[in-house]
């Protein structure tokens, strides 16, 4: 029964048997949800701020570090080898240079890793160890996204931040890919050649949906963090009730909240 439910959930009826078509169909709704996160909406309105871009770069750095280390380590795995294109796609070095540009030479000390980003990176490392075939779902979600909507986002970033050169924007540029559309076609045909059991295919589609979910959580988390720190900065006259009126649990919560805000705040202002 459970299997039937799962099969129905990822029933890509009418789409054909190609993994590339099925994965696109299975993640269609998730893509719409990702596009409609606050962060992506700000992007589409051309309202991305420098601080938003810096925290996004920090998260992307952590995500690609995990993704690319796991792809490298599993590069000869039969499912990973066909979609392993480090020359054309690897983003880690670009992210390092963008972070250095915006945060300075001591950027490694200043990178902040929000909780949802950490969870995403942990998932990537876990599947790299336990089920490397599923890295395909994550590589698809990130790299094909970067080669699609990501290209427009690069132009919007440059315009929104008023950057006169491409400096700090190397994440969006793929010098090894002369035609993103042709490259995406090649990537899809490589995905379609991967030998998968029915169970393996179902897991792959599920993992792709969860890859989008991880991204959505990362964006929501960043947005929340930014609004908390903005609110804290704007409310330096917040008055906490005096200790005499507080139960120990309320005090514990208040102290915890202050420490959490201060920690996030310090990390953010360091950016
Ligand atoms: C402002 C936000 C976004 C916009 C405007 C956008 C736009 C687009 C566009 C125009 C395409 C090409 C569709 C096609 O060729 O049929 C695309 C494809 C894609 N996008 Fe996005 N996107 C956004 C965010 C995202 C995010 C956050 C992710 C995942 C993290 C993502 C993942 C993908 C993937 C994997 C594809 C390839 C689909 C396929 O051909 O199989 N996108 N996107």
- Ligand 1 pocket test, candidate residues 145, 146, 172, most atoms within 8 A of CB: 145
Instruction: Please write the tens of the pLDDT for every residue from 159-188.
Output: 999 998 888 999 999 999 999 999 999 999
> No. of H helices and E strands in the chain?
15, 0
Q: Which residue, judged by its Cα, is nearest atom 36 of ligand 1?
A: 145
35 lines ligand 1 (CB under 6 A): yes
Give CA–CA dist 253/232, Å, rounded.
Answer: 17
252 has a pLDDT exceeding 70: no
225 lines ligand 1 (CB under 6 A): no
3-state SS track over 95-158:
HHHHHHHHHCCCHHHHCCCCHHHHHHHHHHHHHHHHCHHHHHHHHHHHHHHHCCHHHHHHHHHH
95 has a pLDDT exceeding 80: yes
In the prediction, which pLDDT does 29 show? 98
In the prediction, which pLDDT does 10 show? 52
In the prediction, which pLDDT does 226 show? 87
Residue 165, token pair as written in the block:
């050169």
Q: Show Cβ contacts of residue 141 under 8 Å, excluding neighbours closer than 6 positions.
A: 27, 208, 211, 212, 215
In contact, 219 and 34? CB cutoff 8 Å? yes
43 lines ligand 1 (CB under 6 A): yes
Q: What percent of the chain stands above pLDDT 70?
A: 79
Q: Which of 99-103, 168-172, 234-238 has the lowest mean pLDDT?
A: 234-238
Give CA–CA dist 66/122, Å, rounded.
Answer: 8
Q: Give the Å distance between the CA of 24 and the centre of ligand 1.
A: 10
Domain ranges of the chain: 19-230
264 lines ligand 1 (CB under 6 A): no
87 has a pLDDT exceeding 80: yes
| CATH 3.40.50.1370 matches 19-230 | no
Instruction: Please write the tens of the pLDDT for every residue from 142-165.
Output: 999 999 988 889 999 999 999 988
204 has a pLDDT exceeding 50: yes
Q: Which residue, judged by its Cα, is nearest atom 33 of ligand 1?
A: 145
Give CA–CA dist 104/113, Å, rounded.
Answer: 17
Q: Which of 83-87, 98-102, 264-268 has the lowest mean pLDDT?
A: 264-268
Q: How far apart are the first and last CA of the chain?
A: 51
Confidence class for position 7, pLDDT limits 50, 70, 90: very low
Rounded to the nearest integer, the mean pLDDT of the chain is: 85
In the prediction, which pLDDT does 267 show? 57
Confidence class for position 227, pLDDT limits 50, 70, 90: confident
Give CA–CA dist 264/88, Å, rounded.
Answer: 35
In contact, 18 and 204? CB cutoff 8 Å? no
Q: Give the Å distance between the CA of 146 and the centre of ligand 1.
A: 8
């Amino acid at each position: 029964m459970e299997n039937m439910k799962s099969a129905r959930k990822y029933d890509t009826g009418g789409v054909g048997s190609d993994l590339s078509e099925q994965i696109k169909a299975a993640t269609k709704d998730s893509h719409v949800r990702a596009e409609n996160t606050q962060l992506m909406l700000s992007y589409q309105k051309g309202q991305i701020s420098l601080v938003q871009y810096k925290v996004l770069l920090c998260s992307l750095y952590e995500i690609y570090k995990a993704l690319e280390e796991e792809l490298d380590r599993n590069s000869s795995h039969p499912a990973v080898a066909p979609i392993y294109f480090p020359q054309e796609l690897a983003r880690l070095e670009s992210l390092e240079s963008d972070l250095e540009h915006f945060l300075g030479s001591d950027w490694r000390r200043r990178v902040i890793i929000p909780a949802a980003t950490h969870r995403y990176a942990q998932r990537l490392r876990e599947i790299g160890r336990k089920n490397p075939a599923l890295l395909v779902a994550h590589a698809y979600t990130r790299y094909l996204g970067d080669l699609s909507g990501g290209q427009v986002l690069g132009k919007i970033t440059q315009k929104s931040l008023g950057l006169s050169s491409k400096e700090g924007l190397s994440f969006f540029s793929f010098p090894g890919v002369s035609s993103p559309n042709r490259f995406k076609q090649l990537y899809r045909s490589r995905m379609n050649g991967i030998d998968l059991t029915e169970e393996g295919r179902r897991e792959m589609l599920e993992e792709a949906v969860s890859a989008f979910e991880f991204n959505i959580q990362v964006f929501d988390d960043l947005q929340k963090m930014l609004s908390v720190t903005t609110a804290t900065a704007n409310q330096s006259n917040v008055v906490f009730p005096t200790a005499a009126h507080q139960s120990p649990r309320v005090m514990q919560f208040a102290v915890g909240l202050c420490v959490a805000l201060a920690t996030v705040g310090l990390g953010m202002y360091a950016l």
